Amino acid sequence: MLKTRIIQNEPTGAGRSPSIIEVDGLSKDYGSVRAVDRLSFSVSAGTITGFLGANGSGKTTTLRALLGLVAPTEGNCRIDGRRYRDLRRPLSTVGSMLEATTHPARTARNHLAMLAAEAGASRSRVGSLLELVELDAAADRRVGGFSLGMRQRLGLAGALMGDPAVLILDEPANGLDPEGIRWLREFLRGLAAEGRTILLSSHVLAEVAQTVDDVVVIKAGRLVTQAPLDTLLAAHASHQVRVRTAQPNVLVTALAAAGFTAIAGPDGAVVVTGCPPEQIGRLALEHGLVLSEITDETPSLEDTFLALTTQSEEIR
């Protein structure tokens, strides 16, 4: 329904879905602190995009600017082609979950009933949303006694109240256990399969790596990269292995002949890039070499992410 309307409103590029969320040259200063710095990115309709960066890198500020809760110092944010405040039916266009804003003394059902009134949704929607996020059994308990995971699920139910085509979620996986993260992944995948567009932030790539299609990585308020997750992973998938042998130069020559980069260090160790450890072992054997050490030093996904997001501060 909504998706069709969105696609008709936007210029359609060949093969690529139209952008439904656009951040264009956004900067936000808090006094002398530049929280967001000339940030631009866009999110295609029907995708799940991870908005990634270390704590304090400007994610929440950007999401609040998208939702009209923060006035930009410069630049623009648009959802479905409009600024948030110009949306005709904001709660039916975009649903959001920022930090917990529930009243602890209220029950889950009362909390959602208030949001239903705000969004002009029917009372019966409250019940179906409670079921959808699997909180029906806890519906009449006070939110103050909820676990973090239950609160996150209540937040998701609230975000869905107006049946929006776009969801903006700030750290929805924060504090969830592996089971909760799996539940969230399947829930969000289901929403995306219905054609919804989801932008979700995280400061831990591993929490969302199996959920997102694309990533937008920021550091100190600035864009580091926007890419499909697969592209980001492939760029860093290269093996790095350290080996030791009595004749390092023979090994380096053999590896070079097989098309791999190998560098012998002054300590006699050889660092090999792009070649899996098993293949190095086979090559060594073929050349009658005995390896006294073989260590896989390939950076983990999280190492790669940390390297992207926490390099030493640049001069602004």
Tell me: does residue 57 bind Mg ion (CB under 5 A). Answer: no
For residue 60, state whether it binds Mg ion (rule: CB under 5 A).
yes
Q: Which residue is nearest to Mg ion (CB)?
A: 60
**Counting contacts by CB under 6 A, is residue 55 touching ligand ADP?**
yes
Binding-site member from 4, 33, 175, 276 for ligand ADP (CB under 6 A): 33
Long-range (24+ apart) CB contacts under 8 A made by 25-28 are 25/74, 25/75, 25/76, 26/62, 26/65, 26/72, 26/74, 26/75, 26/76, 26/77, 27/72, 27/73, 27/74, 27/75, 27/221, 28/58, 28/61, 28/62, 28/65, 28/70, 28/72, 28/73, 28/221
Told to check if 101 binds ligand ADP by CB under 6 A, we report no
Under the binding rule (CB under 6 A), the answer on residue 290 touching ligand ADP is no
CA distance 233 to 226: 12
Which span sits near Mg ion by CB under 5 A: 51-59, 104-112, 230-238, 286-294? 51-59
Interaction of residue 152 with Mg ion, rule CB under 5 A: no
List the helix and strand counts (H, then E) for the chain. Answer: 12, 13
Is 175 a residue that touches ligand ADP (CB under 6 A)? no
Using CB under 6 A as the binding rule, whether residue 57 contacts ligand ADP is answered as yes
As a whole number of angstroms, the distance between CA 263 and CA 250 comes to: 12
CB of 174 to Mg ion, least distance (A): 9
Using CB under 6 A as the criterion, which residues of the chain lie in contact with ligand ADP when the complex forms? 30, 33, 35, 53, 55-61
Using CB under 5 A as the criterion, which residues of the chain lie in contact with Mg ion when the complex forms? 59-60
